[in-house]
Amino acid sequence: MFISLNNPVVLSFLLMTVILSLTYIYYKYVIIPMKKKHFEEEENIRLQHAKLMAMFAELDPSPVFRFDLSGDIVLANKAGHNLLASKPLSGEKIYTLLPELTSINLTKCINDGEQLQITSSVGETTYQFTVCGLPHFKIGQIYGRDISALVAARIKLESALKKSEEAEQLKSYFLSQLSHEIRTPMVGLSGFGGFLKESLSDILTDEQKGWFLHLDNATKRLNRTMDLFINMAQVLTGGVAVYPVNINPKKEIETILRNYAPLIEEKKLICSYEDLTGNAVFKTDQYSFNLVLQNLIDNAVKFTKSGSIKITTYFNETKFRIDVTDTGIGISSEYLTKIFTPFTQEVMGYSRPYEGNGLGLALAKSLLALNNAWIEVKTEKGKGSTFSLIFN
């Protein structure tokens, strides 16, 4: 009766035995195989990944090396082997291939996980090598990159820079020599021409006095032309420095007008100057100021056959302005966009009715920009022009 199935203890024991047996069978024939398969799949993935990484290094066109704590090469990809094709790399010291590494403590590099860079030439090729320490694996790896093209470009750049510096020195010498060799005899011609005119004033006819006047005008024209060419060359090559000082614009303008008085009188023009600033003083580069204003007044006189020229200085808010207004030929709307372009004139060619080289306004704009100033123009063909200089 004790072992009867009707006995609850026996029945419970049998049920427990069946459950445990089923659990064991399920674990042994289902769970364990599933775990084993999972581990195998993980290992396959890891191996595939390792193979892919090895293939990546092998197919890398740049050299890759692996070395141990003693500096022996333990692995190199195909590009690495090609650097020393005469004998196998395995077991060779990394110093043999890259002598620059002798100055580096490779053991410390590996143990401390350092990352360093060296540049080395192997044959005719220059490489930049990155040395990486991997302390977990007690190895180091070196990744190379061909920088021959960069080195060649740097050498060319340094050579070009040296030539540029030499050209800059030659340019400065040329401009200084040109200025001296042309201006010096022109000053002599102008001075001796004036002296000769004064000495012979009692016996010269009106026609002969006209010759001296033409000589004086030609000398001044040549001087202005040389000044424009030299100054424009210096501006274009960055050879102009400005030195702002306090100037009295009224005094500068009156001096320039006195120099143009004979020509203005010869052309029977009416010239006036009005100062609305109360004889103000402002800061700018004196040489640039005079050169720009001289070019504007020169143009006004040149392109005005009859009528008047007026110069006005005034303040517009906080800005100092100078207006140069003439009743000359004016500028067409088609040419207006080109007036500040070097070597351009509205009428080109040797048969043009007005002398000049098309540099005056281009130079003026460039010099004003160096002084934090600018130029504006209002004009109408056949009725005249107003050029305004605006200084901050």
Give domain limits for the chain: 1-59, 60-146, 158-237, 241-391
> From edge to edge, which strands make up the β-sheet containing 373-380?
270-275, 308-316, 319-326, 384-391, 373-380
* Mode of pairing for the β-strands spanning 384-391 and 319-326: antiparallel
Angle at 19 between CA 14 and CA 20, to 5 degrees: 100
* Same fold yes or no, 60-146 and 241-391: no
| % of the chain residues with pLDDT over 70 | 82
Cα 126 → chain centroid: 29
Residue 14 to residues 22, 27, 98, 112, Cα–Cα distance (Å): 12, 20, 77, 64
CATH number of 60-146: 3.30.450.20
What was the pLDDT predicted at 86? 59
Q: How far apart are the C-alpha atoms of 256 and 123, rounded to whole Å?
A: 70
Q: Cβ distance 353 to 371 under 8 Å?
A: no
DSSP letter at 4 equals: S
Per CATH, which fold does 241-391 belong to?
Answer: Heat Shock Protein 90 (3.30.565)
Report the SS3 class of residue 66.
strand
CA 388/CA 325 separation, integer angstroms: 9
Cβ contact 301:266 at 8 Å: no
Chain-centre distance for alpha carbon 114: 37
Of 67, 65, 94, the residue nearest 81 (C-alpha): 65
Distances (CA, A) of 219 to 183, 226, 299: 10, 11, 17
What is the Cα–Cα distance from 321 to 144, expressed in whole angstroms? 64
Each of the 392 residues of the chain gets a pLDDT tens digit; together they read 455 656 676 677 777 887 878 787 877 777 788 888 877 777 766 656 555 455 546 667 788 888 899 888 888 888 888 876 656 666 788 888 888 888 889 899 999 999 999 988 887 888 999 999 988 888 888 888 899 888 888 889 888 888 877 776 666 666 666 666 676 777 777 777 777 878 887 888 888 878 887 787 777 777 777 776 777 777 766 667 788 999 999 999 999 999 889 889 989 999 999 999 988 898 999 988 998 999 899 889 989 999 999 999 999 888 999 999 999 999 988 888 888 887 666 654 334 445 555 677 888 898 899 899 999 999 999 999 999 999 98
**Dihedral of the alpha carbons of 189, 195, 198, 199, in degrees to the nearest 10:** -120
